[in-house]
Amino acid sequence: MFKPHVTVACVVQAENHFLIVEETIHGNPRWNQPAGHLEADETVIQAAARELWEEAGIHAQPQSLLRIHQWMAPDKTPFIRFLFAIELPKRLTVIPQDDDIDRCLWLEADEILNSHLLRSPLVAESILCYQQGVRYPLDVLNAFQWPLPL
């Protein structure tokens, strides 16, 4: 049976800058959006908010869905990635709560799109999706009978 990893990511924009988290992978710095795996006890929207808090120390809720990507990583790991948008009125001070995150950066789109530090091509693709301006309401991700009744 095919069982892809289900992940979430947030494109966070404020003052024409995008939030990037930097982590060290195999001794090298790598950039990503605040992102991570869906946990068993949460919806994808809850997972996105949790990952944003863990990786950047920001309490915010996704405002819209940008895209759902089905992606195969170079190591052949399959992913389904839910990409959300969050627009903030100003850049906030960011303090990672997750020890795996080295620092957070507010960068302009071109800095991200032209970087050789991206964790995966989905990082640049996420910025491009945001720039296209297509947004889907969060209710397209309705959590049916969630959580299960006791």
In the chain, where are the structural domains located? 11-136
> How many whole angstroms separate alpha carbon 34 and alpha carbon 136?
19
147 upstream amide cis, omega within 30 of 0 = yes
In tens, the pLDDT along 55-101 reads 999 999 999 999 999 999 889 999 999 999 999 999 999 999 999 99
Number of Cβ within 10 Å of residue 148's Cβ equals 5
Q: Name the pLDDT band for 150 (thresholds 50, 70, 90).
A: low
DSSP annotation of 92: P
Number of Cβ within 10 Å of residue 106's Cβ equals 18
> How many whole angstroms separate alpha carbon 24 and alpha carbon 11?
20
CATH topology for the 11-136 domain:
Nucleoside Triphosphate Pyrophosphohydrolase (3.90.79)
- Given phi > 0 = left and psi -120 to 50 = alpha, else beta, which region is 133? left
* pTM, entire model: 0.94
CB 88 within 8 A of CB 12: yes
Q: Name the pLDDT band for 144 (thresholds 50, 70, 90).
A: confident
In tens, the pLDDT along 25-47 reads 999 999 999 999 999 889 999 99
pLDDT value for 82: 98
Q: Is 77 exposed, middle or buried (0-12, 13-18, 19+ CB in 10 A)?
A: exposed
pLDDT of 147 > 90? The answer is no
